[in-house]
């Protein structure tokens, strides 16, 4: 089997691959029979990607063999704490500190085509983005009704830390984090209570 190659894309290359990325989204997000959760459409994915491409610091890494096998994309979290406004409950103090210090990176999505090594490939994509941004923490929000995505992220090493609500919308999310290295993982212990109100800097 040919090795999987990882490649960083700039915004213009992402624009050229939009249709292929949308195909990857559809194939990697197949809903299982009986799953009541309806994932966003192909067009919604493309609209979301277009919005993300114009965020400061947007980055994407893709995995290739003889075709596109996966991708991960997102943007650095602002250090003003706005990302976590809407978090319900307590937040490990180390997460707050890493966010303020500019060492957190928000993943909008990680897509992996069904493959025997999808877990390893997902982690490679995510770790590549975190390393390139010198980030110690990945963060993401997932609709709590999307059980398949939540299960996949947990199997890839993400930690579910609680409920997140956007004041402007009815959807309730689960907030997940991916610590980089044993030292960061060990620090996810001290809780700090977060005030409510406002809205996040984006998922």
Q: Taking the model in full, what pTM does it have? A: 0.83
Domains and CATH numbers, the chain: 5-193 (3.40.630.30)
pLDDT value for 193: 45
Give the separation between CA 130 and CA 105, rounded to whole angstroms.
7
* Per-residue model confidence (pLDDT) at position 115: 64
Beta bridge pairs of residue 47: none
Question: What's the whole-number mean pLDDT along residues 126-143?
Answer: 94
Within the chain, strands assigned E span 5-9, 59-64, 68-76, 87-88, 90-92, 104-112, 137-143, 159-165, 172-179, 191-193
pLDDT of residue 201: 37
Question: Does the structure show a pLDDT above 80 at 149?
Answer: yes
As a whole number, mean pLDDT of residues 23-28 equals 89
User: What value does the mean pLDDT take over residues 74-85?
Assistant: 90
Q: 18 pLDDT band (50/70/90 cuts)?
A: very high
Residue 34: which pLDDT band, with cuts at 50, 70 and 90? Answer: low
The mean pLDDT of 95-100, rounded to a whole number, is 90
User: What's the pLDDT score for residue 22?
Assistant: 94
Contacts 24+ apart (CB under 8 A), 79-82: 80/201, 82/198, 82/199, 82/200, 82/201
Is the pLDDT score of 130 beyond 90?
yes
- The model's confidence at residue 120, banded by pLDDT at 50, 70 and 90, is confident
Strand-pair partners of 177: 139, 159
CA distance 37 to 58: 28
SS3 content of the chain, % helix, strand, coil (to 5): 35, 30, 35
pLDDT band at 202 (very low <50, low <70, confident <90, very high): very low
In the structure, what pLDDT confidence band is assigned to residue 181 with cuts at 50, 70 and 90?
low
Residue 7 reports pLDDT greater than 80: yes
Burial (Cβ within 10 Å: 0-12, 13-18, ≥19) of residue 38: exposed
**Residue 198: count of CB within 10 angstroms of its CB:** 13
Question: What does R_g of the chain's alpha carbons equal in angstroms?
Answer: 16
The alpha carbon torsion through 203, 150, 92, 104 (nearest 10 deg) reads: -40
Q: Where are the alpha helices (DSSP H) in 29-105?
A: 42-53, 93-100
């Amino acid at each position: 089997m040919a090795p999987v190659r990882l490649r960083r894309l700039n915004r213009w290359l992402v624009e050229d691959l939009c249709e292929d990325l949308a195909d990857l989204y559809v194939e990697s997000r197949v809903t299982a029979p009986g799953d009541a959760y309806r994932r966003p459409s192909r067009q919604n994915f493309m609209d979301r990607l277009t919005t993300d491409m114009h965020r400061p610091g947007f980055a994407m890494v893709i995995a290739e063999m003889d075709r596109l096998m996966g991708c991960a994309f997102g943007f650095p979290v602002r250090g003003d704490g706005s990302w976590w406004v809407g978090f319900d409950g307590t937040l490990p103090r180390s997460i707050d500190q890493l966010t303020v210090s500019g060492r957190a990176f928000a993943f909008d999505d990680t897509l992996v085509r069904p493959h025997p090594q999808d877990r390893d490939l997902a982690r490679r994509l995510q770790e590549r983005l975190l390393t390139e941004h010198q980030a110690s923490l990945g963060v993401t929000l997932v609709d709590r009704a999307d059980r398949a995505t939540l299960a996949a992220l947990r199997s890839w090493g993400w930690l579910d830390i609680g409920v997140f609500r956007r004041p402007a919308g009815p959807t309730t999310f689960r907030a997940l984090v991916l610590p980089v290295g044993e030292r960061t993982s060990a620090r996810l212990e001290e809780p700090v209570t977060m005030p409510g109100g406002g809205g996040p800097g984006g998922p």
